[in-house]
């Protein structure tokens, strides 16, 4: 349990520390080190949970079970690798005069603030605190989206702030309803604790929980980027600094989905019906298809990949909505591989746009000739995210299809269609970027490729063979979420 | 006996109306740091006007001459319907709140006709404006009144007031809305700031005054008196419906006296509030009036809604 | 369960909820920013009163803390900050022309009915006061959304945002007698940070587009043109 406290304290200290000296030379390395330490702590935590099973802290404030511990490790991991990338990236931005000292302070401080919020969302046992930290994550990142202070970035940040703030307010209403239902069965002081709620899920009033879930889904769904609440997502991803896009896509969306799934578990217990699942399936499928179509009309490379994020989040929501062990397993796997691949892609995209000096797709050409590493990174990343074997995304998408075929066969063609459209949408843009004519005067930049290689390597590994401990882990989480083993 | 009291009460109502108008003027003057005319000034004005011979336009028809009497009678009848000092009078059993609204509409109809009758530009303009406003104000007023009658399950004013009295102090959200709605409507209907300004004769802004511009002498006196009556009617309505406590429920002398004192107190309070509001608010443009009355309607609607939603039996 | 048969406390809470609903409507139809902010402060005051009332009737000290927090944040700090911004921008004389005001108002009334309809299934699980309070607070939330849609000024958006927060707070106070203390403190902290961030944002928006009219922020589109 100490591990959790250490993890949270470390991030909290990071906020203060970087707020004071975040502008110094080589500060990026310190950020990396903090995140590395966090990663070690989470791995320690994971091993403990793996050996001992669910841990509940003494005050019942924190809960680590097989579901969230793997997300915690994933969060720490992506946070760490992104900080590896962010150090030279931000240094470069400072060099070319895009950022001042005070903004760098803000950036590093809020990077840790975001990590703190994410850890809190995952570790807390209290549904209210979960909401508070989810909102905290918005607050921490909103100023990072407008870090460059261009009119576009301010507009994006404003949209992000307002839409997510309003959206997440709906989730608070849902949480209040949840609390209301829970306080009817007594013990109102602990009524928001997830453990208590889960234990008494069957006694909760199904009518109230149904209504509550609608609000919770809309609220957290705004953060997941479900259509039609996705408007903020491409803007925030495209206008903020690239490391931010990587963590937003790789972490924030996952954690919002995590919140929804936690709530779904309660609602399923109370209603004993599949209503929550149907809602999630509907939202998920619509997001998946709409985002796939939008891929074709993008002209900004970061927007392109943020629509791809919406698409994949839609797929995960859909899979969690189907319920059942197979679909849940697939969704968990997809969450992992998507985070890995997508943050790798955003890292390469960051280098690519630094190299070309623009984010416009039409301006980025001939990467493979200028700097083969960037070109190959982007190409392989895109291949992976589009769901080609042998990468992990293929495995998880295949499992989702399988589950769909088993439960709702008539939805399979729609999914296949969506995957096809998305594939076409990505490649029509990526092909000229990678193979096109090299523009005059484009030269390689200093770049750190370790994150990309590690992430894609892991995704490849997960695609070829899921290691035993990880599949055990997923199975445990699946058992917890869907109620039955694979 | 009861009829006698009813007639006496009506007479008192009619007699006191100019006084209330005078008091209102007094409050406003004091608030605006001016020296107020005597409280009896409206009586003197009325007296002066009645002594003068009316001047009637050559184009005026009989309608123009009879209208002041019709309007005044309608208002007196309305005054007899509204419980003033005592509740449960035979007159109010005869007519309910919809008849009351009808009396107002009747008087307004004739005033508007008279305004058109003489064929001057101002008269026509005033009539059209008055009708515009009242067409918007009336639904709002009915909405507020319906909220009340739904609560009391009667449209009879006495019955409704007794219902409120019998229940004791009940905080009703719907009444809060209805009260605000009725106040807004009252302001519009009695031609006060911010909808109309009773003291101006500026052609661009006047509404009520434009309609009666051609009247003089005793005709004018009657119309003035009628509008003072209308003002007081709304005041009594608002105070007795929403705060009926103190109204005489029996016809003993002490109860009646107490009732008179209480209603006087309520009206004075209302006048002070209104005077403060009138001093603080500027008159709005004519085209904003529809928004204002739309808001009053909305309040009435909300009152109705909150009656159904918040208060009703299930 | 007529209102007459309820105790005075229930009646008072119901009246408060009606008044809170009314303030939401007032905000909806308000084109002047300073008055909008004033009405918002009044709403905050009503919330404070409701909270203290509940605290008093339940003799619950932690609700007094919430009441004080609400007062400090929503009656004093946020209105003060917004007012300062409006005066600094010299916008206090502008009257925003609201499009389709009547339609918006009627839309607001139907939203109120709608929120009642949504919560109808809860009816048999609860006492009347809970249900009505929830219905009113949901409609305050929805009216806040409508306010944000119908106004163009960033300041009005912030007021809408905060009034949504007010609606949620009202639900929490009346329906469940407040959330657990940690959660409430957390929410208050979030609101405070959000308010400060909004202040920073006004500055940024002003320097970037020289106005606080959010309609002028239209560079980013769903589909790049």
| Assigned token pair, C48 | 């404070």
Residue C220's closest CA among B93, A293, B274, A152? A152
Q: How far does the CA of residue A298 sit from the closest CA of chain C (Å)? A: 6
The pLDDT tens digits for A164-214 are 999 999 999 999 989 988 888 776 678 888 888 888 888 888 888 999 999
Helix (H, G, I), strand (E, B) or coil at A63: strand
Contact between chains at B311 and C29 (C-beta distance less than 8 A): no
Contact between chains at B170 and C11 (C-beta distance less than 8 A): yes
Residues of C in contact with A109 (CB under 8 A): none
Interface test with C, best of B173, B289, B300, B302 (most C CBs within 10 A): B173
Helix (H, G, I), strand (E, B) or coil at A13: helix
Report percent pLDDT > 70 for chain B: 98
Q: How would residue C1 be classed by pLDDT, with cut points 50, 70 and 90?
A: very low
Residues of C in contact with A188 (CB under 8 A): 176-177
Q: How far does the CA of residue C101 sit from the closest CA of chain B (Å)? A: 8
Interface test with C, best of A109, A141, A176 (most C CBs within 10 A): A176
C216 touches chain B (CB under 8 A): no
pLDDT value of position A226: 92
Q: Is the per-residue pLDDT at A109 higher than 80?
A: yes
H helices present in A53-150, as ranges: 66-95, 101-123, 127-145
C192 touches chain A (CB under 8 A): no
Residue of C nearest to A238 (CA): C220
| Assigned token pair, A186 | 């007594």
DSSP assignment of chain C, as one string? Answer: --GGGS-HHHHHHHHHHHHHHHHHHHHHT--BHHHHHHHHHHHHHHHHHHHHHHHHHHT-HHHHHHHHHHIIIIIIIHHHHHHHHHHHTT-TT-B---TTHHHHHHHHHHHHHHHHHHHGGGGGGS-HHHHHHHHHHHHHHHHHHHHHHH--BHHHHHHHHHHHHHHHHHHHHHHHSS--HHHHHHHHHHHHHHHHHHHHHHHHHHHHHSS-BGGG-----SS--
pLDDT value of position C125: 66
CB atoms within 10 A of CB B65: 15
Helix (H, G, I), strand (E, B) or coil at A207: helix
**Residue of A154, A176, A234 lying closest to C208 (CB–CB):** A154
| Mean predicted confidence (pLDDT) in A282-292 | 95
Contact between chains at C2 and B311 (C-beta distance less than 8 A): yes
Angle made by CA atoms A116, A118, A123, in degrees to the nearest 5: 95
**Residue of B171, B180, B298 lying closest to C15 (CB–CB):** B171
pLDDT value of position C88: 84
A147 touches chain C (CB under 8 A): no
* CA–CA distance, B235 with B228 (Å, rounded to integer): 11
Q: What length is written for chain B?
A: 314
B93 touches chain C (CB under 8 A): no
Contact between chains at C132 and B302 (C-beta distance less than 8 A): no
C220 touches chain A (CB under 8 A): yes
Helix or strand run (H / E) with residue A55:
strand A55-56
Q: How far does the CA of residue A111 sit from the closest CA of chain C (Å)? A: 16
Q: Is the per-residue pLDDT at A246 higher than 90?
A: no
How many interchain CB pairs under 8 A, A with C? Answer: 139
| Mean predicted confidence (pLDDT) in C198-224 | 79
**Residue of C122, C141, C157 lying closest to A208 (CB–CB):** C122
**Residue of B180, B299, B310 lying closest to C132 (CB–CB):** B310
Q: Is the per-residue pLDDT at B120 higher than 90?
A: no
* Cβ C26 vs Cβ B302: under 8 Å: no
* Cβ B302 vs Cβ C25: under 8 Å: yes
Tokens 């000296």 sit on residue: A21
Residue A376's closest CA among A406, A352, A409? A352
* CA–CA distance, B237 with B13 (Å, rounded to integer): 12
Residue C182's closest CA among A168, A132, B179, B26? A132
The pLDDT tens digits for A293-343 are 999 988 899 999 999 999 999 999 999 999 889 999 999 999 999 999 998
Interface of A with C in 186-215 (CB under 8 A): 188-189, 191-192, 205, 207-208, 210-211
Whether C and A touch, i.e. at least 3 CB pairs below 8 A, reads as: yes
* CA–CA distance, A360 with A321 (Å, rounded to integer): 36
Q: How far does the CA of residue B172 sit from the closest CA of chain C (Å)? A: 6
Give just the sign of the alpha carbon dihedral A377, A382, A387, A392. Answer: positive
* Cβ C105 vs Cβ C147: under 8 Å: no
Contacts for B58 with CB less than 8 Å, ≥ 6 apart: none
Q: Is the per-residue pLDDT at C54 higher than 80?
A: yes
Contact between chains at C176 and A294 (C-beta distance less than 8 A): no
The domain spans of chain C are 7-214
Rounded to a whole number of angstroms, the distance between the first and last alpha carbons of chain A is 29
Contacts for C117 with CB less than 8 Å, ≥ 6 apart: none
* Cβ A79 vs Cβ A137: under 8 Å: no
* Cβ C215 vs Cβ C154: under 8 Å: no
pLDDT value of position C28: 87
The pLDDT tens digits for A408-457 are 999 999 999 999 999 999 999 999 999 988 888 788 888 788 889 999 99
Report in angstroms the alpha-carbon separations of C25 from A166, A175, A352, C206.
18, 25, 51, 29
Phi/psi of residue A364, each to 5°?
-100, 115
Q: How far does CA A125 lie from the centroid of its chain?
A: 20
Any long-range contacts for B37-42 (C-beta under 8 Å, 24+ apart)? B42/B18, B42/B224, B42/B228
Name the residue range of residue B102's domain. 2-311
**Residue of C180, C214, C220 lying closest to A192 (CB–CB):** C180
Q: How far does the CA of residue A78 sit from the closest CA of chain C (Å)? A: 26
Q: How far does the CA of residue C1 sit from the closest CA of chain A (Å)? A: 20
Interface test with C, best of B292, B298, B301 (most C CBs within 10 A): B298
H helices present in chain B, as ranges: 2-31, 41-51, 62-81, 90-94, 97-117, 121-152, 157-167, 173-189, 208-211, 217-242, 253-280, 289-306
DSSP 8-state secondary structure symbol assigned to residue A483: S
Burial class for A185, CB neighbours closer than 10 Å (0-12, 13-18, 19+) = middle
DSSP 8-state secondary structure symbol assigned to residue B170: -
C4 touches chain B (CB under 8 A): yes
pTM of the model: 0.86
pLDDT value of position A412: 93
* CA–CA distance, A350 with A85 (Å, rounded to integer): 9
State the total domains in chain B. Answer: 1
* CA–CA distance, A445 with A351 (Å, rounded to integer): 8
Tell me the sheet residues that pair with A193: A126
Touching C (3+ Cβ pairs <8 A), the chains are: A, B
CB atoms within 10 A of CB C142: 22
Contact between chains at B305 and C109 (C-beta distance less than 8 A): yes
Q: How far does the CA of residue C14 sit from the closest CA of chain B (Å)? A: 7
Interface of B with C in 280-299 (CB under 8 A): 291, 294-295, 298-299
Residues of C in contact with B174 (CB under 8 A): 18
Residues of C in contact with B176 (CB under 8 A): 15, 18-19, 22
* Cβ B194 vs Cβ B292: under 8 Å: yes
pLDDT value of position A250: 85
Whether A and B touch, i.e. at least 3 CB pairs below 8 A, reads as: no
* CA–CA distance, A16 with A110 (Å, rounded to integer): 10
C127 touches chain A (CB under 8 A): no
User: Which value does ipTM take for this structure?
Assistant: 0.93
* CA–CA distance, A119 with A327 (Å, rounded to integer): 26
| Assigned token pair, C173 | 């106070």
The pLDDT tens digits for C120-176 are 777 666 666 677 778 889 999 999 999 998 888 888 999 999 999 999 999 888 887
Average pLDDT over chain B, rounded to an integer: 88
Residues of A in contact with C215 (CB under 8 A): none
**Residue of C8, C101, C109 lying closest to B301 (CB–CB):** C109
Q: How far does the CA of residue A189 sit from the closest CA of chain C (Å)? A: 6
Report percent pLDDT > 70 for chain A: 99
Report in angstroms the alpha-carbon separations of A16 from A94, A113, A121, B222.
21, 9, 20, 80
**Residue of B169, B177, B310 lying closest to C14 (CB–CB):** B310
* CA–CA distance, A10 with A31 (Å, rounded to integer): 11
**Residue of B302, B312, B313 lying closest to C109 (CB–CB):** B302
Residue A427's closest CA among A383, A394, A390? A383
Tokens 């992976």 sit on residue: A384
pLDDT value of position C57: 87
A359 touches chain C (CB under 8 A): no
**Residue of A207, A208, A299 lying closest to C224 (CB–CB):** A299
| Assigned token pair, C213 | 């009219």
What's the half-sphere exposure (Cβ side, CA atoms, 13 Å) at B18? 17
Interface test with C, best of A129, A158, A360 (most C CBs within 10 A): A158
* CA–CA distance, C30 with C35 (Å, rounded to integer): 7
* CA–CA distance, B300 with B182 (Å, rounded to integer): 8
Q: Is the per-residue pLDDT at A480 higher than 80?
A: yes
Q: Is the per-residue pLDDT at A25 higher than 80?
A: no
Helix (H, G, I), strand (E, B) or coil at A57: coil
Q: How far does the CA of residue C176 sit from the closest CA of chain A (Å)? A: 6
Q: How far does CA B272 lie from the centroid of its chain?
A: 16
Residues of B in contact with C115 (CB under 8 A): none
**Residue of C1, C18, C101 lying closest to B173 (CB–CB):** C18
Report in angstroms the alpha-carbon separations of B58 from B112, B125, B221.
19, 20, 21
Q: How far does the CA of residue C95 sit from the closest CA of chain A (Å)? A: 23
Q: Is the per-residue pLDDT at C86 higher than 80?
A: yes
**Residue of C121, C168, C222 lying closest to A173 (CB–CB):** C168
More confident residue, C209 or B221: B221
Residue A265's closest CA among A52, A471, A478? A478
């Amino acid at each position: 349990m100490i591990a959790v406290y250490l993890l949270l304290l470390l991030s909290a200290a990071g906020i203060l520390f970087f707020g004071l000296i975040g502008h110094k030379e080589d500060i990026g390395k310190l950020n990396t080190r903090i995140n590395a330490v966090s990663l070690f702590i989470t791995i320690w935590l994971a091993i403990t949970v793996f050996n001992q099973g669910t841990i509940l802290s003494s005050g019942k404030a924190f809960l680590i079970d097989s579901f969230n511990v793997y997300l915690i490790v994933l969060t720490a991991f992506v946070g760490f690798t992104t900080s590896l990338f962010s150090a030279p990236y931000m240094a470069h931005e400072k060099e070319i005069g895009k950022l001042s000292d005070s903004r760098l302070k803000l950036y590093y401080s809020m990077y840790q603030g975001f990590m703190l919020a994410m850890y809190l969302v995952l570790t807390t046992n209290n549904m209210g605190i979960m909401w508070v930290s989810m909102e905290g994550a918005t607050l921490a990142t909103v100023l990072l989206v407008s870090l460059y202070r261009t009119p576009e970035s301010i507009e994006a940040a404003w949209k992000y702030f307002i839409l997510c703030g309003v959206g997440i307010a709906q989730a608070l209403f849902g949480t209040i309803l949840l609390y209301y239902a829970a306080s009817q069965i007594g013990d109102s002081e602990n009524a928001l604790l997830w453990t208590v709620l889960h234990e008494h899920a069957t006694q909760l009033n199904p009518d109230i929980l149904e209504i509550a879930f609608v609000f919770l889904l809309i609220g957290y769904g705004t953060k997941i980027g479900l259509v039609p609440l996705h408007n903020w997502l491409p803007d925030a991803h495209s206008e903020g600094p690239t490391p931010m896009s990587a963590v937003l896509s790789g972490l924030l969306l996952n954690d919002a989905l995590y919140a929804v799934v936690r709530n779904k578990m309660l609602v399923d217990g109370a209603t004993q019906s599949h209503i929550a699942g149907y809602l999630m399936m509907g939202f998920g499928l619509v997001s998946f298809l709409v985002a796939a179509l939008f891929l074709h009309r993008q002209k900004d490379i970061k927007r392109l990949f943020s629509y791809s994020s919406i698409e994949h989040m839609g797929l995960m929501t859909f899979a969690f909505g189907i319920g059942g062990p197979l679909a849940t397993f697939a969704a968990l796997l997809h969450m992992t591989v998507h985070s890995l691949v997508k943050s790798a892609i955003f890292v390469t995209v960051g280098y690519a746009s630094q190299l070309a000096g623009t984010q416009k797709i039409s301006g980025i050409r001939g990467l493979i000739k200028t700097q083969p590493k960037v070109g190959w990174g982007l190409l392989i990343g895109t291949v992976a995210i589009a769901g080609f074997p042998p990468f992990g995304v293929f495995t998880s998408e295949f499992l989702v299809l399988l589950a769909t075929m088993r439960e709702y066969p008539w939805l399979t063609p729609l999914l296949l269609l969506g995957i096809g459209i998305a594939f076409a949408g990505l490649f029509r843009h990526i092909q000229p970027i990678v193979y096109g004519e090299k523009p005059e005067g484009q030269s390689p930049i200093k770049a750190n490729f370790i994150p990309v290689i590690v992430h894609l390597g892991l995704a490849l590994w997960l695609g070829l063979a899921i290691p035993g401990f990880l599949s055990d882990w997923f199975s445990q989480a699946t058992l917890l979420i869907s109620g039955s083993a694979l | 006996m009861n009829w006698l009291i009813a007639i006496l009460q009506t007479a008192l109502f009619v007699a006191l109306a100019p006084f209330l108008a005078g008091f209102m003027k007094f409050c406003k003057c004091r608030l605006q740091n001016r020296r107020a005319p005597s409280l009896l000034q409206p009586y003197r004005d009325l007296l002066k006007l009645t002594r003068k011979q009316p001047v009637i336009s050559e184009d005026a028809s009989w309608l123009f001459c009879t209208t002041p009497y019709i309007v005044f009678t309608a208002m007196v009848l309305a005054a007899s319907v509204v419980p003033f000092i005592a509740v449960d009078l035979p007159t109010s059993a005869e007519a309910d709140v919809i008849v009351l609204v009808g009396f107002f509409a009747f008087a307004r109809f004739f005033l508007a006709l008279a305004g058109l009758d003489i064929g001057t530009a101002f008269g026509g303009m005033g009539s059209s404006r008055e009708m515009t406003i009242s067409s918007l104000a009336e639904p709002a007023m009915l909405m507020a009144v319906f909220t009340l009658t739904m609560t009391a399950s009667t449209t009879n004013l006495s019955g409704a007031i007794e219902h409120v009295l019998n229940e004791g102090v009940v905080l009703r959200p719907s009444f809060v809305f209805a009260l605000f709605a009725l106040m807004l409507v009252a302001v519009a209907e009695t031609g006060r700031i911010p909808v109309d300004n009773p003291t101006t004769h500026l052609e661009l802004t006047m509404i009520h005054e434009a309609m009666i511009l051609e009247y003089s002498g005793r005709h004018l006196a009657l119309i003035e008196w009628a509008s003072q009556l209308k003002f007081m009617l709304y005041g009594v309505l608002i105070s007795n419906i929403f705060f009926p406590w103190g109204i005489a429920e029996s016809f003993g002398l002490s109860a009646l006296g107490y009732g008179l004192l209480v209603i006087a107190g309520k009206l004075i309070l209302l006048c002070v509030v209104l005077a403060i509001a009138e001093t603080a608010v500027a008159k709005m443009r004519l085209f904003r009036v529809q928004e204002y009355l739309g808001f009053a309607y909305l309040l009435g609607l909300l009152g109705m809604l909150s009656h159904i939603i918040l208060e009703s039996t299930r | 369960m007529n209102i007459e048969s309820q105790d005075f406390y229930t009646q008072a809470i119901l009246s408060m909820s009606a008044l809170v609903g009314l303030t939401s409507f007032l905000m909806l139809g308000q084109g002047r920013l300073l008055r909008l902010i004033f009405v918002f402060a009044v709403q905050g005051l009503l919330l404070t009163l409701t909270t203290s009332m509940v605290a008093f009737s339940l003799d619950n000290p932690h609700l007094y803390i919430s009441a004080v927090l609400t007062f400090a944040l929503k009656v004093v700090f946020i209105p003060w900050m917004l007012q300062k911004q409006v005066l600094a921008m010299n916008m206090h004389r502008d009257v925003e022309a609201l499009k389709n005001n009547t339609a918006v108002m009627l839309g607001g009334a139907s939203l109120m009915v709608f929120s009642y309809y949504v919560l109808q299934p809860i009816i048999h699980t609860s006492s009347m006061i809970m249900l009505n309070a929830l219905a009113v607070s949901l409609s305050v939330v929805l009216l806040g959304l409508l306010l944000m849609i119908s106004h163009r000024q960033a300041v009005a958006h912030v007021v809408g945002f905060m009034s949504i927060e007010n609606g949620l707070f009202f639900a929490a106070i009346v329906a469940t007698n407040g959330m657990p203390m940690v959660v409430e403190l957390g929410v208050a902290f979030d609101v405070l940070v959000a308010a400060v961030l909004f202040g920073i944002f006004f500055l940024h928006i002003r320097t970037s587009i020289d106005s606080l009219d959010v309609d002028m922020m239209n560079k980013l589109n769903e589909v790049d043109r």
